[in-house]
Amino acid sequence: MNPKPMLELENLRMYFPAKTGLGLRKPTSFVKAVDRVTLTINAGETLGLVGESGCGKTTIGRTAIRLYDPTGGRIKFDGQDITRMTRKELKPLRKSMQMIFQDPYASLNPRMTVGDIIGEAIDIHGLYTGAERTEVIAGLLERVGLAGDHINRYAHEFSGGQRQRIGIARALAVEPKFIVCDEPVSALDVSIQAQIINILEELQEKLNLTYLFIAHDLSMVKHISTHIGVMYLGRLAEHGKADEVYENPKHPYTRALLSAAPVADPDAAQAQKRIILEGDIPSPIDPPPGCRFKGRCAYAMGKCAEGDPELTDLGGGHKVACSLYV
């Protein structure tokens, strides 16, 4: 059976007007947060999207579910073109697309009860009322490993990991098909991170969910991802099946990220040669001509300055945007 695309992005662009030093907006200059990104996530899959802060990964997530109006390109969700849909047209689809946020302390109102937080989305979409609503919320809490009777407690009474479980229950309340997990474990203790990832994996299997899982490093998405996308300065540098990208990374930037990832086996860790990236990520307002990574790349050559390389399929859907492979 052919895989069913859940999210298709085609040449997606998301530019924001750049602020001047005085806070005035200069409409002629733009932050190119996402620049011509094309990718597909099939139903039931998880795309782990990684890159340094400011590379555009969160903007892709927000634009994909139309929290932002894209500057250009096309977004198809579950077969429907949603690129230019109005807020009213999007409303019935909102249930299907949810988001789990990075900071469980900031994303939940501490003065609301857990029942009100989870029930809010249920009420907006008019899904359940009365005793049935209470029963559904208690069931959701149990599904994420909390007690059903936590429903009347306030968010501030919970730890970071428990709050993230509440955030997951809130996203599940409207029975979504697709969830953007925006660095959902980055703010948590290492000991709690694996628990949250395990819950997300179990839920995916039971509910056939599709995830876009955003993280800043490759080790965090290793176990949950079926596919990996590596972003650099608004562009996709490499994309492919997770095993293929981890075992056979092609783009010099992916190799550098992988060389920095922690390795459990002490012998392997000693053998691993760390690639130190010199210099900072350039400004997305005026990206350098040619390959955007060339100022930090040990393999840069003359033709890297000539044009911004497009993704090339090296076989089996393993794509890389680098002149070394053209």
Instruction: Select 171 or 291, whichever has its Cβ closest to ligand SF4.
Output: 291
> Total binding residues for ligand SF4 by CB under 6 A?
12
Q: 253 with 297: CB under 8 angstroms?
A: yes
Pattern of binders to ligand SF4 over 257-296, x per CB under 6 A? ----------------------------------x-xx--
Residue 231 is a binding residue for ligand SF4 (CB under 6 A): no
The secondary structure element, H or E, covering residue 138 is helix 130-143
Q: Does 232 bind ligand SF4 (CB under 6 A)?
A: no
Q: Which residues contact residue 209 at a Cβ distance below 8 angstroms, ignoring those fewer than 6 apart?
A: 44, 176, 177, 178, 179, 203
Q: How far apart are CA 286 and CA 297, in angstroms?
A: 19
Q: Is 9 in the site for ligand SF4 (CB under 6 A)?
A: no
Residue among 70 and 290 whose Cβ is closer to ligand SF4: 290
Q: Looking at beta carbons only, is 93 or 324 nearer to ligand SF4?
A: 324
Nearest to residue 159, comparing CAs of 140, 175, 143, 145? 145
The span from the CA of 251 to the CA of 55, in Å, is 16
For residues 47-80, one letter each, b for 16 or more C-beta atoms within 10 angstroms of the residue's C-beta and e for the rest, the string is bbbbbbebbbbbbbbbbbbbebebbebebbbbee
Q: Which of residues 291-320 bind ligand SF4 (CB under 6 A)?
A: 291, 293-294, 297, 299-300, 304, 309
Residue 161 or 290: which CB sits closer to ligand SF4?
Answer: 290
Under the binding rule (CB under 6 A), the answer on residue 66 touching ligand SF4 is no
Q: Does 323 bind ligand SF4 (CB under 6 A)?
A: yes
DSSP tag of 233: T
165 is a site residue for ligand SF4 (CB under 6 A): no
> Taking CB under 6 A as the rule, does residue 233 contact ligand SF4?
no
- The CB density around residue 300, as the number of other CB atoms within 10 Å, is 16
| Closer residue to ligand SF4 in complex, CB, 4/303 | 303
Chain residues binding ligand SF4 by CB under 6 A are 252, 291, 293-294, 297, 299-300, 304, 309, 322-324
